[in-house]
Chains A and B, each alone.
Chain A
Protein backbone atom coordinates (compact mmCIF):
# COMPACT_ATOMS: atom_id res chain seq x y z
CA UNK A 1 0.00 0.00 0.00
CA UNK A 2 2.56 2.55 -1.06
CA UNK A 3 -0.15 4.74 -2.55
CA UNK A 4 0.89 7.98 -0.88
CA UNK A 5 4.29 8.03 -2.43
CA UNK A 6 4.31 10.33 -5.40
CA UNK A 7 5.66 8.58 -8.51
CA UNK A 8 8.83 9.55 -10.29
CA UNK A 9 10.64 10.41 -7.09
CA UNK A 10 14.03 9.17 -6.23
CA UNK A 11 14.03 6.60 -3.46
CA UNK A 12 16.20 7.21 -0.42
CA UNK A 13 17.52 4.67 2.06
CA UNK A 14 15.63 5.74 5.22
CA UNK A 15 12.90 8.24 5.97
CA UNK A 16 12.09 9.35 9.49
CA UNK A 17 8.31 9.76 9.48
CA UNK A 18 8.04 11.74 12.71
CA UNK A 19 10.79 14.07 11.56
CA UNK A 20 9.30 14.66 8.12
CA UNK A 21 5.99 15.57 9.71
CA UNK A 22 7.72 17.86 12.14
CA UNK A 23 9.51 19.56 9.28
CA UNK A 24 6.22 19.80 7.37
CA UNK A 25 7.42 18.06 4.23
CA UNK A 26 6.10 15.16 2.22
CA UNK A 27 7.47 11.71 2.79
CA UNK A 28 10.16 10.77 0.38
CA UNK A 29 9.97 7.28 -1.06
CA UNK A 30 12.36 5.12 0.90
CA UNK A 31 13.37 1.53 1.40
CA UNK A 32 12.83 1.86 5.12
CA UNK A 33 10.75 4.13 7.34
CA UNK A 34 11.45 5.06 10.93
CA UNK A 35 8.61 5.35 13.40
CA UNK A 36 8.63 5.72 17.17
CA UNK A 37 7.22 2.95 19.36
CA UNK A 38 7.07 3.77 23.05
CA UNK A 39 6.61 1.64 26.15
CA UNK A 40 4.02 2.50 28.84
CA UNK A 41 6.54 4.84 30.54
CA UNK A 42 6.81 6.82 27.32
CA UNK A 43 10.32 5.61 26.67
CA UNK A 44 11.21 4.13 23.32
CA UNK A 45 13.37 4.08 20.28
CA UNK A 46 12.95 4.51 16.59
CA UNK A 47 11.76 1.36 14.87
CA UNK A 48 12.35 0.57 11.26
CA UNK A 49 9.49 -0.57 8.99
CA UNK A 50 9.44 -1.12 5.28
CA UNK A 51 5.87 0.03 4.72
CA UNK A 52 4.61 3.59 5.44
CA UNK A 53 1.14 2.11 5.92
CA UNK A 54 1.85 -0.70 8.36
CA UNK A 55 -0.61 -2.88 10.18
CA UNK A 56 -0.66 -3.12 13.94
CA UNK A 57 1.03 -6.48 13.69
CA UNK A 58 3.83 -5.04 11.55
CA UNK A 59 4.50 -2.25 14.03
CA UNK A 60 4.57 -4.60 17.03
CA UNK A 61 6.75 -7.13 15.24
CA UNK A 62 9.18 -4.43 14.12
CA UNK A 63 9.40 -3.20 17.74
CA UNK A 64 10.22 -6.70 18.92
CA UNK A 65 6.87 -7.18 20.66
CA UNK A 66 6.51 -10.83 19.75
CA UNK A 67 4.14 -12.55 19.50
CA UNK A 68 2.03 -9.60 18.45
CA UNK A 69 -1.10 -11.35 19.73
CA UNK A 70 0.11 -10.94 23.28
CA UNK A 71 0.45 -7.17 22.93
CA UNK A 72 -1.71 -4.12 22.51
CA UNK A 73 -0.92 -1.14 20.33
CA UNK A 74 -2.17 2.43 20.67
CA UNK A 75 -1.44 5.34 18.41
CA UNK A 76 -1.23 8.99 19.33
CA UNK A 77 -2.26 11.40 16.62
CA UNK A 78 -1.07 14.96 16.29
CA UNK A 79 -4.03 16.17 18.37
CA UNK A 80 -2.98 13.99 21.30
CA UNK A 81 -5.82 11.54 20.77
CA UNK A 82 -5.09 7.93 21.71
CA UNK A 83 -6.66 5.18 19.69
CA UNK A 84 -6.38 1.42 19.64
CA UNK A 85 -4.84 -0.17 16.55
CA UNK A 86 -6.03 -3.68 15.78
CA UNK A 87 -3.46 -6.21 14.67
CA UNK A 88 -4.61 -6.39 11.08
CA UNK A 89 -5.65 -2.75 10.77
CA UNK A 90 -3.45 -0.72 8.44
CA UNK A 91 -2.46 2.72 9.66
CA UNK A 92 -1.66 5.35 7.09
CA UNK A 93 0.96 6.84 9.35
CA UNK A 94 1.58 9.95 7.32
CA UNK A 95 -1.93 10.90 6.28
CA UNK A 96 -3.34 10.20 9.73
CA UNK A 97 -0.83 12.52 11.30
CA UNK A 98 0.38 9.81 13.66
CA UNK A 99 2.97 11.03 16.13
CA UNK A 100 3.85 7.87 17.94
CA UNK A 101 2.79 4.40 18.90
CA UNK A 102 2.64 2.93 22.38
CA UNK A 103 2.97 -0.82 22.81
CA UNK A 104 1.73 -2.70 25.88
CA UNK A 105 2.48 -6.19 27.07
CA UNK A 106 -1.18 -6.70 27.84
CA UNK A 107 -4.41 -8.16 26.53
CA UNK A 108 -6.87 -5.77 28.05
CA UNK A 109 -7.66 -2.10 27.62
CA UNK A 110 -8.49 0.31 30.41
CA UNK A 111 -10.08 3.69 29.98
CA UNK A 112 -9.50 7.07 31.58
CA UNK A 113 -11.02 10.47 30.91
CA UNK A 114 -8.83 13.56 30.84
CA UNK A 115 -10.59 16.92 30.68
CA UNK A 116 -13.75 15.19 29.45
CA UNK A 117 -12.04 13.20 26.73
CA UNK A 118 -11.94 9.44 27.07
CA UNK A 119 -8.91 7.51 25.96
CA UNK A 120 -7.72 3.90 26.14
CA UNK A 121 -4.70 2.71 28.06
CA UNK A 122 -3.02 -0.70 28.04
CA UNK A 123 -2.19 -0.90 31.74
CA UNK A 124 -4.15 -0.91 34.98
CA UNK A 125 -2.46 2.33 36.01
CA UNK A 126 -1.05 5.45 34.41
CA UNK A 127 1.62 7.70 35.84
CA UNK A 128 1.26 11.45 36.28
CA UNK A 129 4.27 12.25 34.09
CA UNK A 130 2.96 9.96 31.33
CA UNK A 131 -0.45 11.65 31.52
CA UNK A 132 1.30 14.96 31.01
CA UNK A 133 2.95 13.74 27.83
CA UNK A 134 -0.16 12.06 26.48
CA UNK A 135 -2.36 15.06 27.16
CA UNK A 136 0.27 17.71 26.46
CA UNK A 137 -0.22 19.19 29.92
CA UNK A 138 2.11 22.05 30.80
CA UNK A 139 4.17 22.09 34.00
CA UNK A 140 2.21 25.02 35.40
CA UNK A 141 -0.96 22.94 35.44
CA UNK A 142 -1.82 20.34 38.05
CA UNK A 143 -3.74 17.13 37.36
CA UNK A 144 -6.66 16.43 39.66
CA UNK A 145 -8.46 13.13 40.20
CA UNK A 146 -12.20 13.52 40.55
CA UNK A 147 -13.60 11.65 43.52
CA UNK A 148 -17.04 11.05 44.92
CA UNK A 149 -18.02 11.99 48.45
CA UNK A 150 -14.53 13.23 49.21
CA UNK A 151 -12.34 16.10 48.03
CA UNK A 152 -10.73 15.69 44.63
CA UNK A 153 -7.12 14.65 44.81
CA UNK A 154 -4.17 16.42 43.25
CA UNK A 155 -1.68 14.06 41.60
CA UNK A 156 1.80 14.34 43.02
CA UNK A 157 4.84 14.16 40.76
CA UNK A 158 5.10 10.61 39.41
CA UNK A 159 1.98 9.40 41.21
CA UNK A 160 -0.05 6.67 39.49
CA UNK A 161 -3.80 6.57 38.95
CA UNK A 162 -5.42 3.17 39.39
CA UNK A 163 -7.60 2.48 36.34
CA UNK A 164 -8.81 -0.91 37.55
CA UNK A 165 -11.39 0.58 39.92
CA UNK A 166 -15.03 0.24 38.97
CA UNK A 167 -16.20 3.20 36.95
CA UNK A 168 -14.26 5.51 34.67
CA UNK A 169 -11.48 7.49 36.34
CA UNK A 170 -12.00 11.14 35.55
CA UNK A 171 -9.08 13.53 35.54
CA UNK A 172 -8.98 17.24 34.92
CA UNK A 173 -6.30 19.91 34.85
CA UNK A 174 -6.12 23.30 36.52
CA UNK A 175 -3.46 25.97 36.75
CA UNK A 176 -1.20 25.06 39.63
CA UNK A 177 -1.50 27.10 42.75
CA UNK A 178 1.46 27.34 45.08
CA UNK A 179 1.01 28.27 48.68
CA UNK A 180 3.21 29.84 51.28
CA UNK A 181 2.46 30.40 54.92
CA UNK A 182 3.72 33.83 55.97
CA UNK A 183 3.52 33.99 59.74
CA UNK A 184 0.16 32.23 59.75
CA UNK A 185 -1.25 34.00 56.66
CA UNK A 186 -1.68 31.77 53.60
CA UNK A 187 -0.40 33.35 50.41
CA UNK A 188 -1.39 31.92 47.01
CA UNK A 189 1.09 32.28 44.23
CA UNK A 190 0.51 31.71 40.54
CA UNK A 191 4.23 31.16 40.16
CA UNK A 192 6.29 28.30 41.59
CA UNK A 193 8.74 30.76 43.14
CA UNK A 194 8.16 33.97 45.01
CA UNK A 195 10.34 36.78 46.28
CA UNK A 196 10.25 36.94 50.08
CA UNK A 197 9.42 40.66 49.82
CA UNK A 198 6.38 39.96 47.60
CA UNK A 199 5.20 37.17 49.89
CA UNK A 200 5.22 39.56 52.84
CA UNK A 201 3.31 42.18 50.87
CA UNK A 202 0.73 39.59 49.80
CA UNK A 203 0.29 38.56 53.42
CA UNK A 204 -0.25 42.15 54.50
CA UNK A 205 3.12 42.75 56.16
CA UNK A 206 5.15 45.81 55.31
CA UNK A 207 8.46 44.42 54.04
CA UNK A 208 10.26 47.67 54.79
CA UNK A 209 9.43 47.60 58.47
CA UNK A 210 12.46 45.53 59.40
CA UNK A 211 11.98 41.81 59.91
CA UNK A 212 14.05 38.78 60.59
CA UNK A 213 12.89 36.06 58.20
CA UNK A 214 13.31 32.37 58.88
CA UNK A 215 12.25 29.91 56.19
CA UNK A 216 10.89 26.57 57.38
CA UNK A 217 10.57 23.78 54.83
CA UNK A 218 9.30 20.39 55.95
CA UNK A 219 12.17 17.97 56.33
CA UNK A 220 14.86 20.58 55.74
CA UNK A 221 16.99 22.63 58.09
CA UNK A 222 15.49 26.04 58.67
CA UNK A 223 17.35 28.98 57.26
CA UNK A 224 17.56 32.69 57.71
CA UNK A 225 16.63 34.51 54.50
CA UNK A 226 16.60 38.06 53.20
CA UNK A 227 13.82 40.13 51.65
CA UNK A 228 15.27 39.66 48.17
CA UNK A 229 15.69 35.90 48.42
CA UNK A 230 13.55 33.69 46.22
CA UNK A 231 11.45 31.01 47.91
CA UNK A 232 10.86 27.83 45.91
CA UNK A 233 7.32 26.61 46.52
CA UNK A 234 7.62 23.42 44.49
CA UNK A 235 8.84 21.24 47.32
CA UNK A 236 6.21 19.02 48.87
CA UNK A 237 4.58 20.40 51.98
CA UNK A 238 3.82 24.01 52.61
CA UNK A 239 6.74 26.26 53.32
CA UNK A 240 6.50 28.80 56.06
CA UNK A 241 8.17 32.16 56.52
CA UNK A 242 8.49 32.98 60.18
CA UNK A 243 8.64 36.71 60.92
CA UNK A 244 10.09 38.50 63.89
CA UNK A 245 10.49 42.25 64.17
CA UNK A 246 14.17 43.16 63.87
CA UNK A 247 13.99 45.99 66.35
CA UNK A 248 15.89 44.39 69.18
CA UNK A 249 19.60 44.03 69.34
CA UNK A 250 21.52 41.86 71.67
CA UNK A 251 24.44 42.83 73.85
CA UNK A 252 26.85 40.85 71.68
CA UNK A 253 26.11 42.92 68.63
CA UNK A 254 26.06 46.02 70.78
CA UNK A 255 29.43 45.30 72.32
CA UNK A 256 31.10 45.85 68.98
CA UNK A 257 29.56 49.28 68.64
CA UNK A 258 29.95 50.21 72.27
CA UNK A 259 33.62 51.05 72.08
CA UNK A 260 33.53 54.69 73.08
CA UNK A 261 37.29 54.82 73.61
CA UNK A 262 40.21 52.49 73.06
CA UNK A 263 42.31 50.54 75.49
CA UNK A 264 45.91 49.47 75.10
CA UNK A 265 46.50 46.93 72.36
CA UNK A 266 47.63 44.32 74.87
CA UNK A 267 44.48 44.93 76.96
CA UNK A 268 42.22 44.27 73.98
CA UNK A 269 44.17 41.14 73.07
CA UNK A 270 43.90 39.88 76.66
CA UNK A 271 40.16 40.56 76.98
CA UNK A 272 39.54 38.83 73.67
CA UNK A 273 41.73 35.94 74.73
CA UNK A 274 39.62 35.48 77.85
CA UNK A 275 36.50 35.48 75.64
CA UNK A 276 34.92 38.18 77.77
CA UNK A 277 31.97 40.26 76.66
CA UNK A 278 33.20 43.77 77.25
CA UNK A 279 32.69 47.34 76.16
CA UNK A 280 34.24 50.72 76.80
CA UNK A 281 31.72 53.42 77.60
CA UNK A 282 31.83 57.15 78.16
CA UNK A 283 29.63 58.47 80.94
CA UNK A 284 30.05 62.20 81.06
CA UNK A 285 33.76 62.80 81.52
CA UNK A 286 34.40 59.37 83.00
CA UNK A 287 35.53 56.38 81.03
CA UNK A 288 34.47 52.86 81.95
CA UNK A 289 35.57 49.42 80.93
CA UNK A 290 32.55 47.22 81.54
CA UNK A 291 32.85 43.45 81.43
CA UNK A 292 29.52 41.66 81.15
CA UNK A 293 28.85 38.34 82.86
CA UNK A 294 32.08 38.26 84.76
CA UNK A 295 32.13 34.84 86.45
CA UNK A 296 32.62 34.85 90.22
CA UNK A 297 34.12 32.20 92.45
CA UNK A 298 31.52 30.31 94.47
CA UNK A 299 30.53 31.72 97.81
CA UNK A 300 28.74 34.85 96.65
CA UNK A 301 25.05 35.58 96.30
CA UNK A 302 25.50 35.75 92.50
CA UNK A 303 27.33 33.56 90.02
CA UNK A 304 28.28 36.42 87.75
CA UNK A 305 28.26 40.20 87.70
CA UNK A 306 28.91 43.09 85.40
CA UNK A 307 32.33 44.35 86.31
CA UNK A 308 33.25 48.02 85.79
CA UNK A 309 36.74 49.48 85.92
CA UNK A 310 37.27 53.19 85.59
CA UNK A 311 39.90 54.04 83.00
CA UNK A 312 41.35 57.51 83.66
CA UNK A 313 42.06 59.66 80.63
CA UNK A 314 45.77 59.58 81.47
CA UNK A 315 45.84 55.76 81.62
CA UNK A 316 48.29 54.00 81.63
CA UNK A 317 50.30 56.83 83.21
CA UNK A 318 47.46 57.28 85.67
CA UNK A 319 46.76 54.19 87.76
CA UNK A 320 43.71 51.95 87.74
CA UNK A 321 42.13 51.81 91.15
CA UNK A 322 39.23 49.91 92.72
CA UNK A 323 36.47 48.16 90.80
CA UNK A 324 32.70 48.12 90.66
CA UNK A 325 30.21 45.27 90.35
CA UNK A 326 26.55 45.09 89.48
CA UNK A 327 24.47 43.74 91.08
CA UNK A 328 25.83 44.31 94.58
CA UNK A 329 27.46 41.30 96.21
CA UNK A 330 27.21 39.79 99.61
CA UNK A 331 28.55 36.47 100.72
CA UNK A 332 26.22 33.55 100.07
CA UNK A 333 25.47 33.33 103.81
CA UNK A 334 24.24 36.91 103.72
CA UNK A 335 27.26 38.53 105.36
CA UNK A 336 28.37 41.87 104.04
CA UNK A 337 31.81 42.54 102.61
CA UNK A 338 34.17 45.13 103.99
CA UNK A 339 34.86 48.35 102.11
CA UNK A 340 32.04 47.79 99.60
CA UNK A 341 29.38 50.08 101.05
CA UNK A 342 29.73 52.82 98.48
CA UNK A 343 27.45 52.82 95.40
CA UNK A 344 28.12 54.31 92.02
CA UNK A 345 25.59 54.93 89.27
CA UNK A 346 27.20 53.87 86.01
CA UNK A 347 25.16 54.30 82.82
CA UNK A 348 21.89 53.80 84.63
CA UNK A 349 22.86 50.82 86.76
CA UNK A 350 23.79 50.90 90.41
CA UNK A 351 27.24 49.39 90.95
CA UNK A 352 28.83 48.40 94.23
CA UNK A 353 32.27 49.89 94.71
CA UNK A 354 35.00 47.57 95.91
CA UNK A 355 37.56 49.82 97.50
CA UNK A 356 40.65 47.77 96.76
CA UNK A 357 44.00 49.44 96.22
CA UNK A 358 47.56 48.48 95.56
CA UNK A 359 49.41 48.84 98.83
CA UNK A 360 52.60 50.78 99.36
CA UNK A 361 54.85 47.93 98.35
CA UNK A 362 53.12 47.17 95.06
CA UNK A 363 52.81 50.48 93.33
CA UNK A 364 51.34 51.23 89.94
CA UNK A 365 54.01 51.10 87.26
CA UNK A 366 52.90 52.61 83.94
CA UNK A 367 55.43 50.49 82.10
CA UNK A 368 54.31 47.13 83.41
CA UNK A 369 50.78 47.61 84.78
CA UNK A 370 47.61 47.66 82.73
CA UNK A 371 44.06 46.35 82.60
CA UNK A 372 45.67 42.90 82.64
CA UNK A 373 47.37 43.36 85.98
CA UNK A 374 44.36 45.20 87.40
CA UNK A 375 42.12 42.24 86.53
CA UNK A 376 44.52 40.13 88.60
CA UNK A 377 43.88 42.50 91.52
CA UNK A 378 40.12 42.11 90.95
CA UNK A 379 40.38 38.35 90.88
CA UNK A 380 42.54 38.21 93.99
CA UNK A 381 40.13 40.50 95.88
CA UNK A 382 37.11 38.44 94.94
CA UNK A 383 38.82 35.17 95.91
CA UNK A 384 40.05 36.57 99.22
CA UNK A 385 36.52 37.36 100.49
CA UNK A 386 35.37 33.78 100.02
CA UNK A 387 38.53 32.40 101.59
CA UNK A 388 40.09 30.91 98.52
Chain B
Protein backbone atom coordinates (compact mmCIF):
# COMPACT_ATOMS: atom_id res chain seq x y z
CA UNK B 1 0.00 0.00 0.00
CA UNK B 2 1.41 3.32 -1.14
CA UNK B 3 -0.01 5.09 1.91
CA UNK B 4 2.40 3.21 4.15
CA UNK B 5 5.38 4.26 2.05
CA UNK B 6 4.60 7.93 1.46
CA UNK B 7 5.19 10.44 4.23
CA UNK B 8 2.29 11.48 6.48
CA UNK B 9 -0.16 13.97 5.04
CA UNK B 10 0.27 17.46 6.39
CA UNK B 11 -2.07 20.35 6.78
CA UNK B 12 -2.07 23.91 5.50
CA UNK B 13 -4.12 26.51 7.35
CA UNK B 14 -5.79 29.36 5.46
CA UNK B 15 -7.78 32.30 6.83
CA UNK B 16 -11.25 31.73 5.37
CA UNK B 17 -14.47 29.91 6.10
CA UNK B 18 -14.19 27.84 2.95
CA UNK B 19 -11.25 25.80 1.67
CA UNK B 20 -10.20 26.58 -1.92
CA UNK B 21 -11.56 24.67 -4.90
CA UNK B 22 -8.08 23.72 -5.99
CA UNK B 23 -6.45 21.42 -3.49
CA UNK B 24 -2.97 20.01 -3.07
CA UNK B 25 -2.36 16.46 -4.19
CA UNK B 26 -2.18 14.73 -0.81
CA UNK B 27 -2.17 17.35 1.90
CA UNK B 28 -5.17 18.75 3.72
CA UNK B 29 -6.32 22.38 3.80
CA UNK B 30 -7.90 23.75 6.96
CA UNK B 31 -10.11 26.85 6.64
CA UNK B 32 -9.85 28.77 9.87
CA UNK B 33 -11.63 32.08 10.43
CA UNK B 34 -10.32 33.96 13.43
CA UNK B 35 -9.82 31.22 15.97
CA UNK B 36 -12.59 29.07 14.57
CA UNK B 37 -11.99 25.99 12.47
CA UNK B 38 -14.67 25.94 9.76
CA UNK B 39 -13.84 23.14 7.39
CA UNK B 40 -11.10 20.87 6.15
CA UNK B 41 -10.73 19.73 2.56
CA UNK B 42 -8.60 17.25 0.70
CA UNK B 43 -8.74 14.91 -2.24
CA UNK B 44 -10.27 11.51 -1.74
CA UNK B 45 -7.37 9.19 -0.86
CA UNK B 46 -8.82 6.26 -2.83
CA UNK B 47 -7.32 7.79 -5.94
CA UNK B 48 -10.55 9.10 -7.47
CA UNK B 49 -9.27 12.57 -6.58
CA UNK B 50 -12.69 13.90 -5.64
CA UNK B 51 -12.67 17.09 -3.57
CA UNK B 52 -13.89 16.26 -0.08
CA UNK B 53 -14.91 19.02 2.28
CA UNK B 54 -15.75 18.28 5.91
CA UNK B 55 -17.36 20.83 8.19
CA UNK B 56 -15.71 21.19 11.58
CA UNK B 57 -18.21 23.61 13.13
CA UNK B 58 -20.43 21.96 15.70
CA UNK B 59 -23.56 23.65 14.33
CA UNK B 60 -23.38 21.52 11.20
CA UNK B 61 -24.50 17.91 10.94
CA UNK B 62 -22.47 15.87 10.32
CA UNK B 63 -19.32 17.47 11.63
CA UNK B 64 -15.82 16.29 12.36
CA UNK B 65 -13.18 17.28 14.85
CA UNK B 66 -9.57 17.80 13.98
CA UNK B 67 -6.44 17.60 16.04
CA UNK B 68 -2.87 18.08 14.99
CA UNK B 69 0.25 16.44 16.27
CA UNK B 70 3.69 17.93 16.01
CA UNK B 71 4.61 18.68 12.41
CA UNK B 72 1.03 19.48 11.40
CA UNK B 73 0.01 15.86 11.03
CA UNK B 74 -3.79 15.91 11.21
CA UNK B 75 -6.15 13.45 12.88
CA UNK B 76 -9.84 13.58 12.00
CA UNK B 77 -12.63 12.11 14.05
CA UNK B 78 -14.87 10.26 13.36
CA UNK B 79 -14.32 8.36 10.14
CA UNK B 80 -15.12 9.69 6.67
CA UNK B 81 -17.61 7.75 4.63
CA UNK B 82 -18.67 8.77 1.13
CA UNK B 83 -22.31 8.01 0.43
CA UNK B 84 -21.88 8.01 -3.34
CA UNK B 85 -19.22 7.51 -6.00
CA UNK B 86 -16.23 5.58 -4.70
CA UNK B 87 -17.98 4.89 -1.34
CA UNK B 88 -14.67 5.23 0.43
CA UNK B 89 -14.67 4.78 4.17
CA UNK B 90 -11.52 5.64 6.03
CA UNK B 91 -9.94 7.32 9.00
CA UNK B 92 -7.19 9.91 8.98
CA UNK B 93 -4.87 9.59 11.93
CA UNK B 94 -1.57 11.40 12.26
CA UNK B 95 -1.67 12.24 8.58
CA UNK B 96 -2.15 8.61 7.57
CA UNK B 97 -5.19 7.10 5.91
CA UNK B 98 -6.64 3.96 7.46
CA UNK B 99 -9.22 2.15 5.41
CA UNK B 100 -12.25 0.65 7.04
Contact = CB atoms under 8 A, between A and B. Distances in A.
A327 B98 CA distance: 8
Contact of A242 (B17, B61, B82): B17
A249 B33 CA distance: 24
A379 interface: no
Contacts of B99: 348-349
Interface in B28-80: 38-39, 52-55, 57, 59-64, 77-80
A244 B53 contact: yes
Contacts of B80: 248, 250-251
Contacts, number: 81
Nearest to B62: A250
Interface stretch (A89-97, A106-114, A216-224): A216-224
Interface in A206-225: 212, 214, 216, 221-224
B6 interface: no
A255 B62 CA distance: 13
B64 A244 contact: no
A247 B83 contact: yes
A254 B61 contact: no
Contacts of B100: 251, 306, 347-349
Interface residues of B, number: 29
A244 B39 contact: yes
B25 interface: no
Contact of B82 (A183, A248, A277, A327): A248
Interface in A243-282: 244-245, 247-255, 277
A216 B36 CA distance: 13
A18 to B, nearest CB: 52
* Chain A contact surface mostly: strand
Interface residues on A, range: 20 to 34
A307 B26 CA distance: 27
Interface string A128-172: 000000000000000000000000000000000000000000000
Interface string A221-245: 1111000000000000000101011
Nearest to A214: B60
A6 interface: no
Nearest to A255: B78
Given A248-B82, A251-B81, A242 B59 contact: no
A137 B64 CA distance: 49
B82 A184 contact: no
B81 A254 contact: yes
A280 to B, nearest CB: 14
A292 interface: yes
A57 interface: no
A374 interface: no
B82 A224 contact: no
Nearest to B100: A349
A249 B60 contact: no
A252 B62 CA distance: 9
Contacts of B79: 250-251, 254, 292
B27 interface: no
A249 B61 CA distance: 9
Q: Which of B52, B61, B79, B80 gathers most chain A CB within 10 Å? A: B79
Contacts of B89: 251, 254
Q: Which of B17, B60, B77, B84 gathers most chain A CB within 10 Å? A: B60
Contacts of B17: 216, 240, 242
Interface of B: 17-18, 38-39, 52-55, 57, 59-64, 77-85, 89, 91, 98-100
Given A183-B18, A214-B60, A222-B59, 13 more contacts: A212-B60, A244-B54, A244-B60, A248-B54, A249-B62, A250-B62, A250-B63, A251-B79, A251-B81, A251-B91, A251-B100, A255-B78, A293-B77
10 contacts: A184-B18, A214-B57, A224-B61, A244-B60, A251-B80, A251-B81, A251-B89, A252-B78, A292-B91, A327-B98
Closest 5 CB pairs of A and B: A251-B79, A251-B78, A249-B81, A250-B62, A252-B78
